[in-house]
Amino acid sequence: MENITENKPTVIIDTKKIFGVECTFKVLGFDKKTENVPSIDSSYKFNAETTKSILAGFAGNKKVIISGYHGTGKSTHIEQVAARLNWPCIRINLDSHISRIDLIGKDIITLEDGKQITKFQDGILPWAYQNPVALVFDEYDAGRPDVMFVIQRILETDGKLTLLDQARVLNPNKFFRLFATANTIGLGDTSGLYHGTQQINQGQMDRWNIVTSLNYLENKEEEEIVLSKVKDLNNNKGRDIIKSMVSTADLTRSGFINGDISTVMSPRTVITWAQNYLLFKDLEYSFKLSFLNRCDELERPIVHEYFQRAFGIDISDSKVVNVSE
């Protein structure tokens, strides 16, 4: 990886101009983009409250956790703020496959001077911890117990990372930042929507300085985003189709929240559906390929009903819709 250890944020950021929010604190960014800085999505819509919380994390070295339903764009929100600050950002999904050694590191066999030797190779956490990097733990409430104990070390006030196996104590880079996203707020799966999430030790939750939440976009905002990504539909018929697609997505989200279905349509899926529609010129087929086929078979009649309510047509009558007008 690129050596960025000595980099410092020196550029004063106009948060009102760039993010549309006014901050009572000074926000600094880096003067140039480096290897791990995310790409800017110019059509991204920022939520004011969440954006201000993330900016506080960067500016004041606050540990920020964002909760919200699946598909609300929690991780993307952090990435898009980081992108505009030129702040290197690394995401780690804490699914059941991520273990302690994935974070900390492990012994590997390597060749030196023609001889095989055992050498310790640092994981992503020690590297990120010693560099000006924003580290994002996705699905924080799904992390394994051994992983959560490792994370607790860097949540401590003194912020030192002790590697007992290596008899090393690491101090954080002054511009290391820590974020996390979760579907719950540490209470576990109380709704039945998120199997596999864990209750998080209250002592660990208390170590997060800022807890914020992010909900789905308003329909009008989401329509604008989809149209910005699929410009060929930016005409009268196309806008009507996008409006109905977003309405379908909104119905799936309500159904998901109410426990009627187990799969939700994210804004990214709506964009995919619109792109597939342009390719196949067939609403039903593109809907099946983009979303319906990933739904449980027992839930598909409910999803069919969402489609019909949003478009006002039966799914079997949706084959040809002309968008050239």
Query: Which of the four pLDDT bands, split at 50, 70 and 90, describes residue 2?
Result: low
- Going by DSSP bridges, is the β-strand pair 89-93/177-182 parallel, antiparallel, or unpaired? unpaired
| Residue at 322 is within a domain | no
Same domain? For 150 and 253 the reply is no
122 and 34 both lie in a single domain:
yes
Q: What is the mean pLDDT of residues 277-303?
A: 94
Mean of pLDDT values over 224-241: 94
Q: What is the pLDDT of residue 257?
A: 85
Tell whether 2 is covered by a domain.
no
Indicate whether 204 and 225 sit together in one domain.
no
The number of beta carbons lying within 10 Å of the beta carbon of residue 159 is 16
Would you say residue 34 lies in a domain? yes
Domain housing 74 = 11-213
Asked if residue 111 and residue 234 are part of one domain, the reply reads no
User: Which pLDDT belongs to residue 198?
Assistant: 61
Q: Give the pLDDT of residue 157.
A: 65
Q: For 103-107, what is the mean pLDDT? A: 84
Dist CA 124 CA 308 (whole Å): 47
Helix (DSSP H) and strand (DSSP E) numbers for the chain: 12, 11
Provide the pLDDT confidence category of residue 1 given band limits of 50, 70 and 90: low
Which of 4-18, 28-42, 192-206 shows the lowest per-residue confidence on average (mean pLDDT)? 192-206
pLDDT at 319 over 60: no
Q: Do residue 171 and residue 254 come from a single domain?
A: no
Could you say which of 213, 228, 245 is where a domain stops? 213
Whether 183 and 276 map to the same domain: the answer is: no
The answer to whether 127 touches 170, Cβ cutoff 8 Å, is no
Give 115-147 pLDDT, tens digit per residue.
Answer: 888 877 888 999 999 999 999 999 888 888 888
Q: Are residues 168 and 251 in the same domain?
A: no
Number of Cβ atoms within 10 Å of the Cβ of 204: 15
In a domain, 74, yes or no: yes
Same domain, 202 and 223: no
Same-domain status, 77 and 144: yes
Structural domains counted in the chain: 2
Examine the pLDDT at 159 and tell me if it is beyond 80.
no
Q: pLDDT value at position 308?
A: 93
Same domain, 171 and 232: no
- Of the three residues 195, 213, 231, the one that is the final residue of a domain is 213
Name the nearest CA neighbour of 269 among 288, 241, 297.
288
Q: Stretch 198-206: mean pLDDT, rounded?
A: 72
Strand pairing category for 64-67 and 115-122: unpaired
